[in-house]
Chains A and B, each alone.
Chain A
Amino acid sequence: MKEGRAPMERPGRAAAKGFRAPLGAVAAIAAVALVAGAAAAALRAPPPSAPQAAPAAPAPQAAPVAPAKNAPAFLERDDCGIEFVHQRFATPSKKYLVETAGSGVGLFDYDRDGLLDVYCVQCCPLPGGPAGVAAPPDLLFHNDGRGADGRFRFHRVADTVDVKRPDGTVAKKPLGLGDRAYGMSVSCPDVDNDGFPDLFVTNVCQGVRYRDKGNGVMVAVSNGGRDTPYRNNGDGTFTDVTDKSGIVDVDWSGGVAWADLDGDGDLDLYLANYAVLDFDHYKPCGTKERISYCHPDALPAGPDRLFRNDGDFRFVDVTKAAGIVEPGNGGHGLAALPFDWDDDGKLDLYVANDTDPNFLWHNVSGPGGMKFEEAAGSAGIAVSGEGRPQACMGSDFADVDGDLRLDLASANLGREGTVLYLRRDGELFEDRSARSGVLAPTLLYTGFGLRFLDYDRDGDMDLIQVNGHVLDDVHDFDPAQTFEQVPNFLENRGDGTFAEIGPSLSPFFTRADVGRGLAVGDLDNDGDLDVVVLENDHAARVLENVLVTSNHWIGFQLVGTRSPRDAIGARVVVACGDKKQVQQVTGSSSYFSWQDLRLYFGVGARTDAASAEIRWPSGQVQKLEKLALDTCHVVTEPR
Chain B
Amino acid sequence: MEVEPGSNRRSVRRRRAAAGAFACAAALLAAAPHQGQAAAPPQGQAPPAASKRADESPAVPVPAEIVAEIRKIRALYDEERFADAARAGEALCKARKESTEAWLTLAAVHLSPTWTRRRDARAESASRRALQAGGRRPETLRSLATALYRQAKYDEAEPLVNELIDPKPPRVGGEALGDLYVLRASIAMRRDALVPGSRERAVADLEAALAVVPDQPIAHTLRAQMLIAEGKLKEALPHLELAAKSDPGDKAVHHQFHLCLSRLGRKDEAKRHYAIWHLLNRLTDSNSATNAPDPKEKREILAKLRECNPTDWPRRLDLIEAELELGEVEAARKESDALLAERPAWPPALRLKDVAQKAKAGEPVPAPDDGGGG
- Verify A357–B281 contact, CB threshold 8 A: yes
Evaluate whether A440 and B191 lie within 8 angstroms (CB atoms) in the complex, with A297-B287, A300-B290, A428-B262 already known. Answer: yes
- Verify A385–B193 contact, CB threshold 8 A: no
* CB neighbours of B286 from chain A (8 A): 297, 329
* CB neighbours of A428 from chain B (8 A): 259, 262-263
* CB neighbours of B191 from chain A (8 A): 434, 440
Q: Of A386, A415, A478, which contacts B252 at CB under 8 A? A: A386
* CB neighbours of B282 from chain A (8 A): 327-329
Binding-face segment, A375-383, A539-547, A591-599: A375-383
Complex: how many Å from CA A443 to CA B154? 11
- Verify A387–B262 contact, CB threshold 8 A: no
* CB neighbours of A626 from chain B (8 A): none
Complex: how many Å from CA A435 to CA B270? 24
Smallest CB gap from A497: residue in B:
B193
Smallest CB gap from B250: residue in A:
A387
Binding-face segment, B83-91, B271-279, B321-329: B271-279
Chain A residues bordering chain B, tally (CB within 8 A): 43
* CB neighbours of B292 from chain A (8 A): 297, 329
Complex: how many Å from CA A434 to CA B194? 8
In A275-296, the 8 Å CB interface with B consists of: 295
Complex: how many Å from CA A437 to CA B198? 13
- Verify A478–B193 contact, CB threshold 8 A: no
* CB neighbours of B267 from chain A (8 A): 378
- Verify A416–B293 contact, CB threshold 8 A: no
Evaluate whether A380 and B152 lie within 8 angstroms (CB atoms) in the complex, with A387-B252, A437-B194, A477-B121 already known. Answer: no
- Verify A416–B193 contact, CB threshold 8 A: no
The reply on A533 being an interface residue by CB < 8 A is no
C-beta contact mask, B190-211 vs A, less than 8 Å → 1, else 0? 1111100000000000000000
- Verify A378–B274 contact, CB threshold 8 A: yes
The reply on A301 being an interface residue by CB < 8 A is yes
- Verify A380–B259 contact, CB threshold 8 A: yes
- Verify B271–A378 contact, CB threshold 8 A: yes
Q: Of A328, A377, A386, A434, which contacts B192 at CB under 8 A? A: A434
Q: Of B151, B192, B251, B270, which contacts A387 at CB under 8 A? A: B251
Smallest CB gap from A14: residue in B:
B194
- Verify B271–A385 contact, CB threshold 8 A: no
Evaluate whether A297 and B290 lie within 8 angstroms (CB atoms) in the complex, with A377-B278, A386-B1 already known. Answer: yes
Evaluate whether A440 and B281 lie within 8 angstroms (CB atoms) in the complex, with A380-B259, A480-B153 already known. Answer: no
* CB neighbours of B277 from chain A (8 A): 377, 387
Residue picked from A297, A299, A355, A430, most chain B C-beta under 10 Å:
A297
The reply on A20 being an interface residue by CB < 8 A is no
Q: Of B229, B256, B291, which contacts A329 at CB under 8 A? A: B291
- Verify A383–B255 contact, CB threshold 8 A: yes
* CB neighbours of B278 from chain A (8 A): 327-328, 357, 377
The reply on B189 being an interface residue by CB < 8 A is yes
C-beta contact mask, A429-457 vs B, less than 8 Å → 1, else 0? 01010111101100100000000000000
Complex: how many Å from CA A389 to CA B251? 12
Evaluate whether A300 and B259 lie within 8 angstroms (CB atoms) in the complex, with A327-B278, A415-B151 already known. Answer: no
* CB neighbours of A439 from chain B (8 A): 190, 193-194
B22 to chain A, nearest CB (A): 23
Complex: how many Å from CA A480 to CA B156? 11
Q: Of A299, A424, A435, A480, which contacts B290 at CB under 8 A? A: A299
The reply on A298 being an interface residue by CB < 8 A is yes
Evaluate whether A434 and B255 lie within 8 angstroms (CB atoms) in the complex, with A378-B271, A386-B1 already known. Answer: no
B266 to chain A, nearest CB (A): 12
The reply on B285 being an interface residue by CB < 8 A is yes
B169 to chain A, nearest CB (A): 32
The reply on A12 being an interface residue by CB < 8 A is yes
Residue picked from A357, A387, A440, A497, most chain B C-beta under 10 Å:
A387
- Verify A478–B281 contact, CB threshold 8 A: no
- Verify B263–A387 contact, CB threshold 8 A: no
Residue picked from B194, B251, B267, B277, most chain A C-beta under 10 Å:
B194
In A475-496, the 8 Å CB interface with B consists of: 477-478, 480
- Verify B255–A386 contact, CB threshold 8 A: yes
C-beta contact mask, A164-202 vs B, less than 8 Å → 1, else 0? 000000000000000000000000000000000000000
Smallest CB gap from A283: residue in B:
B290
C-beta contact mask, B180-195 vs A, less than 8 Å → 1, else 0? 0000000001111110
Complex: how many Å from CA A584 to CA B271? 29
The reply on B114 being an interface residue by CB < 8 A is no
* CB neighbours of A434 from chain B (8 A): 189-194
Complex: how many Å from CA A588 to CA B285? 29
C-beta contact mask, A383-399 vs B, less than 8 Å → 1, else 0? 10111110000000000
* CB neighbours of B274 from chain A (8 A): 377-378
Evaluate whether A435 and B192 lie within 8 angstroms (CB atoms) in the complex, with A328-B278, A387-B277, A477-B121 already known. Answer: yes
Complex: how many Å from CA A428 to CA B225? 16
- Verify A297–B281 contact, CB threshold 8 A: no
Complex: how many Å from CA A425 to CA B264? 11
- Verify A295–B281 contact, CB threshold 8 A: no
The reply on B258 being an interface residue by CB < 8 A is yes
* CB neighbours of A426 from chain B (8 A): 262-263, 265
The reply on B288 being an interface residue by CB < 8 A is yes
A498 to chain B, nearest CB (A): 9
In B211-243, the 8 Å CB interface with A consists of: 225, 229
- Verify B252–A416 contact, CB threshold 8 A: no
Complex: how many Å from CA A424 to CA B229? 11
Q: Of B192, B193, B270, B288, which contacts A297 at CB under 8 A? A: B288
Q: Chain A residues in contact with chain B, CB under 8 A?
A: 11-12, 295, 297-301, 327-329, 355-357, 377-378, 380, 383, 385-389, 415-416, 424-428, 430, 432, 434-437, 439-440, 443, 477-478, 480, 497
Given A430-B259, A439-B194, 14 more A-B residue pairs with CB atoms under 8 Å apart are: A11-B194, A295-B287, A300-B290, A329-B293, A377-B277, A378-B267, A378-B271, A383-B281, A387-B251, A387-B254, A389-B281, A436-B193, A440-B190, A443-B190
- Show 25 residue pairs from A and B whose CB-CB distance is below 8 angstroms, ordered by the A residue: A12-B194, A297-B286, A297-B287, A297-B288, A298-B288, A300-B290, A327-B282, A329-B282, A329-B291, A329-B293, A355-B285, A377-B274, A383-B281, A386-B252, A387-B251, A387-B281, A389-B281, A426-B263, A434-B193, A435-B192, A435-B193, A439-B190, A440-B193, A478-B151, A478-B153
